[in-house]
Amino acid sequence: MGNTINTQHEQLGKVRSTIREIFEYGNKRRMEIGAENVFDFSLGNPSVPAPEMVKKTYMELLQTESDIELHGYTSAQGALPTRKAIAENLNSRYGTAFHADNFYMTCGAAASLRVTLGALITPGAGEEVVTFTPYFPEYKVFVESSGAKLVESISDPETFQIDFTDLSSRITPQTKAVLINSPNNPSGVVIREEGIRQLAELLQERSAIYGHTIYIMTDEPYRELVYDAETVVPFVTKYYDSTIVCYSFSKSLSMPGERIGYILVPDACDRAADIYAAVCGAGRALGYVCAPSMVQKLIARCAGEVSDVQVYKKNRDILYGALTEYGYKCVYPDGAFYLFFKALEEDAGAFCNKARDYELLLVPADSFGTPGYVRLAYCVSTEQIEKSLPAFKALADSYK
Amino acid sequence: MGNTINTQHEQLGKVRSTIREIFEYGNKRRMEIGAENVFDFSLGNPSVPAPEMVKKTYMELLQTESDIELHGYTSAQGALPTRKAIAENLNSRYGTAFHADNFYMTCGAAASLRVTLGALITPGAGEEVVTFTPYFPEYKVFVESSGAKLVESISDPETFQIDFTDLSSRITPQTKAVLINSPNNPSGVVIREEGIRQLAELLQERSAIYGHTIYIMTDEPYRELVYDAETVVPFVTKYYDSTIVCYSFSKSLSMPGERIGYILVPDACDRAADIYAAVCGAGRALGYVCAPSMVQKLIARCAGEVSDVQVYKKNRDILYGALTEYGYKCVYPDGAFYLFFKALEEDAGAFCNKARDYELLLVPADSFGTPGYVRLAYCVSTEQIEKSLPAFKALADSYK
């Protein structure tokens, strides 16, 4: 067999992501001209602290629980009080009737997605997972690693809502699941209730025609990060029974490094018990023993907490207002902490390189399935936003 | 394609493990006759607290670090100070010359093993991973999930050291790696230096003959749990260059729920840089973004700490002495917290059922690849051990 190793994984480990490259350029530039002069909008890292209750709860847990209880294994599905607290929190917010055994605790959103795909997909069966542009590039990695093919449906380029004419042609007998992400990384767009309704109808229809259920997987780490009173993020299980929710507390609690999230398989989901078992089995096979224990105990007490995200709203309002005024064509971001706009030349990579002349670090959105667009992460200080505006103006002017 | 889901993962999720079943029987029995009257030796959960430094360090981190720093993403390979501290700790203990970039932080030993296998194994290539009886049953799950076949080499039934005549026939051109676990779960046996030397020679020879490197993977969560001054756990990288170490802090720090460990790919390992990249890529593909962040920061300060494991030694000495006296044929356990002995009838399952009449909960070792043997986990209170001795005697007498 020669001296082979797993080439696919070797390549995945060697290909530097665009965002990582920008990050390292930023580090170099910060050394050269000072951090305060580099306007780095490349990283989607929460910039607000965790809710105060988080530190308080950690301290209490450390002072009151025994080490063995606090740091011991939980069951593979997760600690019961944690799953109960999450069920109760969702039920109180959405009028649902979930119970602890609908939930499987995970090491964050990536694990939620990868384990769910591992439960649904049969490698070698030629199955497809449809998602919408723009989308988080790791979707492709997770879908392919579980043995399916990622199929892109091109969203409406004006609103980045679902284009049902396009979607209709992407759903085929091979479609196992449709993966949505709302509020969206990288566009910040929330899929409207009407869109979710129409999606549910289409999938019901096609499931009936093809004789098998097409599942919705909904990736929701940004659910709580919406900024306008009128923006509602529909809770998808209420519109379509066979919906599996993949959640992470990374953004709502500003603790992305702690790797804590869940998979929700509602009772109404087709083959719910089998899928829940397959989730447990996929978790086992992928080397997940349980989600980290102390943070599970924290979630049991903090399931309803959300970081103060007003600074994100403020940043969004300043940036969206200014960039629109300067002539950038921006998609209005309902939530998350990203602003998405059309590059001022066809090649977004070239545009982002030019932006560097103004010390603006932006991410070309080619790997998100939307060439010609740019992602800007505004989870930075408002001061940085304000200081960067003249640079954005000068960059726009340079194209006039 | 019909209404399929991933059957293999569904089955993995549905098959109750023997240990889990015993655990639930134990819960029922504890309700019926009181916890103090049930002698539950089924679970391999650390029963000693974490070192005092752990709580102290957590409190300090919470009080001095900013939330964003403490709970933020680390790089995928792990926080640099953490990897540096681990390298320094190993170098000071073993005279090695590791550096931070030899280490990839993981969510515990299971993740270390599964990600390493993901890096080495090419699915569909017919590769094999050899391990030794008795072995942790999840090895089969991890090896098969990464696309290889697990091959058992039968250890010497007297000493549970490697039987090189047997091993010699198991190593074939299909062998990609040999997986060792010392101190061993479930036997507690440490592979002697001579065994490691001989293993290294055999693998060097066969690698040369087959024209490709056979790697050693060494699973070492119990490295620090040895009880006799003369017992040395050889550091395998010093005997065989192409050794990849899979470690977890679960047992040394008594925090199995926190999911923190590492993969060590030494520079001397054949194709070290490619394998390290493949480890990063496999981690990505399996949904691991980074190891949990706060506990990584804890490890940076506590890499050299070990829980006080004297109670395990005490328990071992009492049990080994008494059981040998009663006529059980026990393997002398150098470390870990397991005692392994021959059932008093051929069918270990029937024996363990009979043991229940004496309120003794033991695990038949069939799923460890050693039918006819029994595993006893002595990570319990010394009081339970002492109280249980008459039951062990009565059980032995019932076979006379």
Which chain A positions have a beta carbon within 8 Å of B7's beta carbon?
A: 122
Query: What is the Cα gyration radius of chain A?
Result: 21
Long-range contacts of B199-205 (CB under 8 A, 24+ apart): B199/B162, B199/B164, B199/B167, B199/B239, B199/B240, B200/B239, B200/B240, B202/B164, B202/B167, B202/B168, B202/B171, B203/B171, B203/B178, B203/B240, B203/B242, B204/B240
CA distance A374 to chain B (A): 23
Inter-chain residue contact B13 with A287, CB threshold 8 Å: no
What is the rounded CA–CA span in Å between residue B283 and residue B119? Answer: 9
Mapped onto helix, strand or coil, the DSSP state of residue A134 is coil
In a 13 Å sphere around the CA of A296, the CA atoms on its Cβ side amount to: 29
What is the rounded CA–CA span in Å between residue A47 and residue B67? Answer: 9
Strand locations in chain B (E): 39-40, 103-106, 128-132, 149-153, 175-181, 215-219, 243-248, 261-264, 330-331, 338-342, 360-361, 363-364, 373-377
Among B4, B6, B288, the strongest candidate for a mutation testing the A interface, having the largest count of A CBs within 10 A, is: B6
Q: Roughly what angle, to the nearest 10 degrees, separates helices B52-64 and B293-302?
A: 120
What is the rounded CA–CA span in Å between residue B136 and residue B340? Answer: 13
Residue A273, exposed/middle/buried by CB under 10 A (0-12, 13-18, 19+)?
Answer: middle
CA distances from B367 to A306, B133, B153, B363 (A): 45, 10, 14, 10
Among B7, B8, B10, the strongest candidate for a mutation testing the A interface, having the largest count of A CBs within 10 A, is: B10
Query: What is the Cα gyration radius of chain B?
Result: 22
- For residue A282, give both structure tokens: 């996929």
Which chain A positions have a beta carbon within 8 Å of B111's beta carbon?
A: 287-289
pLDDT at B93: 97
Mapped onto helix, strand or coil, the DSSP state of residue A109 is helix
Among B5, B45, B248, the strongest candidate for a mutation testing the A interface, having the largest count of A CBs within 10 A, is: B5
In a 13 Å sphere around the CA of B267, the CA atoms on its Cβ side amount to: 7
Inter-chain residue contact A292 with B288, CB threshold 8 Å: no
- Per the listing, tokens 């549970």 go with B160
How many other CB atoms are found less than 10 A from the CB of residue A70?
21
pLDDT at A19: 80
Stretch B387-398: mean pLDDT, rounded?
98
Which chain B positions have a beta carbon within 8 Å of A311's beta carbon?
A: none
Asked if residues B186 and B369 have their Cβ atoms less than 8 Å apart, the reply is no
In a 13 Å sphere around the CA of A383, the CA atoms on its Cβ side amount to: 6
Inter-chain residue contact A294 with B257, CB threshold 8 Å: yes
Stretch B279-287: mean pLDDT, rounded?
97
Confidence class of residue B302 from pLDDT cuts 50, 70 and 90? Answer: very high
A56 in reach of chain B (CB within 8 A): no
Asked if residues B207 and B179 have their Cβ atoms less than 8 Å apart, the reply is no
- For residue B384, give both structure tokens: 């339970």
Nearest to B282 among A9, A49, A255 (CB): A9
Inter-chain residue contact B10 with A71, CB threshold 8 Å: no
Residue of B nearest to A294 (CA): B258
A242 in reach of chain B (CB within 8 A): no
Asked if residues A177 and A214 have their Cβ atoms less than 8 Å apart, the reply is yes
pTM of the model: 0.96
B277 in reach of chain A (CB within 8 A): yes
Asked if residues A143 and A164 have their Cβ atoms less than 8 Å apart, the reply is no
What is the rounded CA–CA span in Å between residue A261 and residue A278? Answer: 18
Residue B326, exposed/middle/buried by CB under 10 A (0-12, 13-18, 19+)?
Answer: middle
The rounded mean pLDDT for chain B is 96
pLDDT at B1: 53
Nearest Cα to Cα of residue B163 among B186, B121, B191, B125: B191
pLDDT at A24: 82
**Strand B243-248 relative to strand B215-219: parallel, antiparallel, unpaired?**
parallel
End-to-end alpha-carbon separation of chain B, Å? 59
| In the predicted structure, residue B109 carries a pLDDT above the cut 90 | yes
Residue of B nearest to A121 (CA): B6
| In the predicted structure, residue B79 carries a pLDDT above the cut 90 | yes
B6 in reach of chain A (CB within 8 A): yes
Asked if residues B227 and B334 have their Cβ atoms less than 8 Å apart, the reply is yes
- Residue B298 makes CB contacts below 8 A (sequence gap 6+) with B54, B57, B58, B61
| B141: β partners | none
Which chain A positions have a beta carbon within 8 Å of B217's beta carbon?
A: none
A280 in reach of chain B (CB within 8 A): yes
Name residues 164-223 of chain B within 8 A of A (Cβ): 173-174, 176, 211-213
pLDDT along chain A (400 residues), means of 10: 86 83 88 94 91 97 95 94 98 98 98 98 96 96 97 96 98 98 97 98 98 97 95 97 98 96 98 97 96 98 95 97 97 95 97 97 94 96 96 97
* HEC sequence for A313-382: HHHHHHHHHHHHHHCCCEECCCECCEEEEECCCCCHHHHHHHHHCCCEECEEHHHHCCCCEEEEECCCCH
In a 13 Å sphere around the CA of A145, the CA atoms on its Cβ side amount to: 34
Inter-chain residue contact B256 with A282, CB threshold 8 Å: no
Among A7, A8, A10, A21, the strongest candidate for a mutation testing the B interface, having the largest count of B CBs within 10 A, is: A10
What is the rounded CA–CA span in Å between residue B282 and residue B276? Answer: 10
Strand locations in A231-346 (E): 243-248, 261-264, 330-331, 338-342
Confidence class of residue B43 from pLDDT cuts 50, 70 and 90? Answer: confident
Q: Which helix (H) or strand (E) holds B327?
A: none
Which chain A positions have a beta carbon within 8 Å of B60's beta carbon?
A: none
Nearest to A67 among B49, B66, B274 (CB): B49
In a 13 Å sphere around the CA of B64, the CA atoms on its Cβ side amount to: 8
Nearest to A287 among B50, B114, B295 (CB): B114
What is the rounded CA–CA span in Å between residue A171 and residue A207? Answer: 10
A124 in reach of chain B (CB within 8 A): no
How many other CB atoms are found less than 10 A from the CB of residue A17?
14
If phi over 0 gives left and psi between -120 and 50 gives alpha, with beta otherwise, what is residue A211?
left
List phi, psi (to 5°) of A113: -65, -50
Inter-chain residue contact B277 with A14, CB threshold 8 Å: yes
pLDDT at A282: 98
pLDDT at A45: 86
Task: List, edge to edge, every strand of the sheet that includes A215-219.
Answer: A103-106, A261-264, A243-248, A215-219, A175-181, A128-132, A149-153
List phi, psi (to 5°) of A340: -125, 125
A113 in reach of chain B (CB within 8 A): yes
CA distance B351 to chain A (A): 27
CA distances from A244 to A202, A214, A239, A279, B309 (A): 17, 11, 12, 11, 44
pLDDT at A1: 53
Query: Count of CB contacts below 8 A, A vs B?
Result: 287
CA distance A182 to chain B (A): 20
List phi, psi (to 5°) of A37: -100, 0
Residue of B nearest to A49 (CA): B67
Inter-chain residue contact B275 with A120, CB threshold 8 Å: no
ipTM of the complex: 0.96
Confidence class of residue B23 from pLDDT cuts 50, 70 and 90? Answer: confident
Among A122, A286, A296, A298, the strongest candidate for a mutation testing the B interface, having the largest count of B CBs within 10 A, is: A286
What is the rounded CA–CA span in Å between residue B6 and residue A116? Answer: 10
Among A3, A9, A145, the strongest candidate for a mutation testing the B interface, having the largest count of B CBs within 10 A, is: A9
Confidence class of residue B45 from pLDDT cuts 50, 70 and 90? Answer: confident
CA distance B327 to chain A (A): 34
How many other CB atoms are found less than 10 A from the CB of residue B228?
13
Residue of A nearest to B60 (CA): A59
Asked if residues A94 and A120 have their Cβ atoms less than 8 Å apart, the reply is no
